[in-house]
Amino acid sequence: MHFSIISVVPELLESPLGHSVIRRARDWGLLEIECIDLRTFGLGAYRQVDDYPYGGGAGMVLMAEPLVNCIEALKSKRSYDLVIYLTPDGERFDQHMANRLSLQHNLMLICGHYKGIDQRVRDHWVNLEVSIGDYVLSGGEIAACALVDAVGRLIPGVLNDETSALSDSFQDGLLAPPVYTRPAEFQGLPVPDILLSGHQVRIEDWRHEQALQRTTERRPDILRD
Ligand code: SAM
């Protein structure tokens, strides 16, 4: 799977996409991530990428021309399934969307900055707008990293144990059950006996009950869905 990420601060993408599971996926050739500095498509001697908003008001807007030049340059090299703009007023990102996107091959992500990007780019070059939650970040880079991480770990072969992602929260409509590791007792706090019993069927039943209880208490909205 290939991601092309357009950003005015590509340095922000380096660490989250350069370590742990995503780093391994890249090393193994399961995931390609290309970060493009929008300024290389900037206009004039100063590589301008932003300008004042028409109608006045605070903040700058990323201009259409550098963005479209960048999008078209990327499209001339590969065919993209989707061009995604990260934005707080987009469709809410969740595990269902992550599952859906993990089936695609080539995704382009546009990170906004300042007040956002010129609306004409959104109207004519973007196919999907995605929000990672009802709050406003300074730029789309953190949102892009969240999306790439959540989608990337679903690609077959990326996780050591393929079944691991299936037992994570939201995959089966439930939150994940509690987990414990050694020692069996820590500062007088024991691990539930059932987990030490060796009865795999009963352990799975217990986990399911715990997941159900946790979801009922914390996210009854998921159960209703
Ligand atoms: N003026 C915009 C608004 O009120 O909707 C917010 C602009 S925000 C300061 C700058 C950029 O951060 C946006 O263009 C977007 O790319 C990104 N961003 C901010 N919050 C986000 C969120 N919740 N989900 C996805 N991207 C977000």
Domains of the chain (ranges plus CATH)?
2-152 (3.40.1280.10), 169-224 (1.10.1270.20)
Query: Ligand 1: which residue has its CA nearest to atom 6?
Result: 115
pLDDT at 161: 80
pLDDT at 163: 75
Classify residue 70 as left (phi > 0), alpha (psi -120 to 50) or beta. alpha
Q: What is the pTM of this model?
A: 0.96
pLDDT at 82: 98
Beta carbon of 88 within 6 Å of any ligand 1 atom: yes
Beta carbon of 91 within 6 Å of any ligand 1 atom: no
Query: Ligand 1: which residue has its CA nearest to atom 27?
Result: 87
pLDDT at 171: 85
Which one, of 60, 12, 25, lies nearest residue 3 by Cα?
A: 25
Scanning the structure block, which residue is given the tokens 């939201």?
Answer: 170
Task: Give the whole-angstrom CA distance, residue 77 versus residue 92.
Answer: 30
107 Cα to the center of ligand 1, angstroms: 19
Which one, of 73, 86, 61, lies nearest residue 34 by Cα?
A: 73
What six digits make up the tokens of 18?
Answer: 């350069």
Task: Give the whole-angstrom CA distance, residue 201 versus residue 39.
Answer: 57
Beta carbon of 133 within 6 Å of any ligand 1 atom: yes
Task: Give the whole-angstrom CA distance, residue 220 versus residue 214.
Answer: 9
Beta carbon of 53 within 6 Å of any ligand 1 atom: no
Query: Ligand 1: which residue has its CA nearest to atom 23?
Result: 88
Scanning the structure block, which residue is given the tokens 């995604």?
Answer: 84
pLDDT at 131: 98
> Tens place of pLDDT for every residue, the chain, 225 residues?
999 999 999 999 999 999 999 999 999 999 999 999 999 999 999 999 999 999 999 999 999 999 999 999 999 999 999 999 999 999 999 999 999 999 999 999 999 999 999 999 999 999 999 999 999 999 999 999 999 999 999 999 999 887 788 888 898 899 999 999 999 999 999 999 999 999 999 999 999 999 999 999 999 999 877
Residue 194's CB: how many other CB atoms inside 10 A? 14
Query: Ligand 1: which residue has its CA nearest to atom 8?
Result: 138
